[in-house]
């Protein structure tokens, strides 16, 4: 199994399209960092504009590495699913398209082992992509902008988090984001089993993510009550929950806390269930599939 995993990782990282993902992330992150370096104040004014009249806003200290990293995550975690689907959707469909699937399945490895190896290779790719993004968006931002307290702008509240209380939250957030994106990978992986060309699974995955995201965020009571709690996209933003703090009776933030950790963990659990469901279904379907390509 370990050898199969190595083989699958070897195949993934020998394809040039894999590096497109890493390059795309680097480009996007650096573009955002450069924009904020030149005119971060405008962005902060835009975010906190409604408070300008009543509060003194220390723009220089707000624009620090932690804040820049948060902005990047907000912007990019919508686009990253496409880069994940590019590889995950190609895992089985790409082999069918290339004609190599029949050779793989006729080897003395079980279909279960083969699929598990492929799936775990996709998970490793996802984790590495997130690690790359974490490095660029957090480490590089800290180098460029320094550190200070983090301001998190929610839709109707502002959180200020002490600088000493930020790093562990980012580590937790990146771990959570890895699980969230693995859910997308698992979906693309499942769709890949049904196709003999990777375009179909990639486009289908992105379409599903977009439609579900719209349903999750539209705030229409009918959808809020019925479908929203069950959509995996509703839980993909759970990483932000690590940046919402509990308050005491006086409304003062309590460092080291998470406003609703059970909810975040529940969302994480739901995503894990989706991962198992998608990957498990892929395995079940593939085991019965006639390889005609």
What CA dihedral angle connects 173, 179, 185 and 189, to 10 degrees?
180
Q: How far is the CB of 67 from another protein (least distance, A)?
A: 9
Is residue 183 near another protein by the rule CB under 8 A?
no
Which 25-54 residues touch another protein, going by CB under 8 A? 46-47, 49-51, 53-54
Neighbours of 206 (CB within 10 A): 19
What is the spatial distance between Cα 64 and Cα 108, in angstroms, rounded to a whole number? 55
DSSP string, 76-95: HTTTHHHHHHHHHTTTTHHH
Neighbours of 244 (CB within 10 A): 21
Element (H, E) at 161: strand 158-161
Mark the segment that binds another protein (CB under 8 A) among 7-15, 81-89, 129-137, 274-282.
Answer: 7-15
Is residue 264 near another protein by the rule CB under 8 A?
yes
Q: Which is nearer to another protein, 30 or 109 (CB)?
A: 109
Which of 130, 240, 274, 275 lies at the binding interface for another protein (CB under 8 A)?
A: 240
Q: Which is nearer to another protein, 38 or 46 (CB)?
A: 46
Is residue 265 near another protein by the rule CB under 8 A?
no
Which 58-117 residues touch another protein, going by CB under 8 A? 58, 61-62, 74, 98-100, 102-110
Q: Are 86 and 21 in contact (CB under 8 A)?
A: yes
What is the spatial distance between Cα 96 and Cα 198, in angstroms, rounded to a whole number? 9
Q: Which is nearer to another protein, 101 or 279 (CB)?
A: 101
Q: How far is the CB of 69 from another protein (least distance, A)?
A: 14
Which of 22, 41, 200, 259 lies at the binding interface for another protein (CB under 8 A)?
A: 259
Is residue 269 near another protein by the rule CB under 8 A?
no
The 195-234 contact track toward another protein, x by CB under 8 A, reads: ---------------------xx----------xx----x
Q: Are 64 and 146 in contact (CB under 8 A)?
A: yes
Q: Are 144 and 37 in contact (CB under 8 A)?
A: yes
Is residue 288 near another protein by the rule CB under 8 A?
yes
Which 137-176 residues touch another protein, going by CB under 8 A? 148-149, 151, 153-163, 165
Instruction: Say whether 247 sits in a helix, a strand or coil.
Output: strand
Count the site residues for another protein by CB under 8 A.
Answer: 77
Q: How far is the CB of 85 from another protein (least distance, A)?
A: 20
Burial class (CB in 10 A: 0-12, 13-18, 19+), 60: exposed
Q: How far is the CB of 133 from another protein (least distance, A)?
A: 17
What is the spatial distance between Cα 59 and Cα 158, in angstroms, rounded to a whole number? 15
Scan for tokens 């399209």, then name that residue: 17
Scan for tokens 């932000």, then name that residue: 240
Q: Which is nearer to another protein, 127 or 289 (CB)?
A: 289
């Amino acid at each position: 199994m370990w050898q199969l995993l190595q083989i699958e990782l070897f195949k993934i990282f020998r394809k040039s399209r894999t590096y497109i993902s890493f390059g795309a992330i680097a480009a996007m992150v650096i573009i955002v960092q450069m924009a904020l370096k030149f005119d971060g104040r405008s962005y902060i004014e835009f975010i906190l504009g409604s408070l300008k009249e009543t509060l003194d806003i220390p723009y220089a200290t707000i624009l620090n590495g932690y804040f820049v990293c948060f902005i990047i995550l907000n912007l990019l975690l919508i686009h990253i699913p496409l880069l994940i689907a590019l590889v995950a959707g190609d895992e089985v469909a790409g082999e069918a398209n290339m004609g190599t699937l029949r050779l793989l399945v006729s080897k003395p490895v079980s279909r279960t082992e083969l699929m598990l190896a492929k799936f775990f290779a996709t998970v490793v790719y996802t984790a590495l992509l997130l690690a790359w993004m974490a490095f660029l968006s957090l480490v590089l931002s800290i180098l460029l902008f320094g550190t200070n307290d983090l301001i998190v702008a929610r839709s109707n509240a502002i959180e200020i988090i002490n600088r000493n209380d930020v790093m562990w939250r980012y580590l937790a957030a990146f771990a959570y984001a890895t699980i969230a994106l693995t859910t997308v990978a698992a979906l693309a992986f499942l769709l890949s089993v049904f196709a003999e060309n990777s375009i179909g699974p990639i486009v289908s995955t992105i379409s599903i993510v977009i439609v579900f995201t719209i349903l999750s965020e539209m705030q229409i009571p009918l959808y809020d009550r019925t479908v929203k709690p069950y959509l995996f996209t509703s839980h993909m933003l759970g990483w932000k929950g690590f940046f919402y703090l509990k308050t005491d009776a006086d409304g003062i933030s309590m460092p080291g806390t998470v406003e609703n950790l059970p909810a975040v963990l529940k969302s994480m659990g739901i995503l894990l269930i989706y991962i198992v469901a998608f990957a498990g279904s892929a395995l079940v379907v593939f085991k019965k599939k006639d390889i005609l390509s």
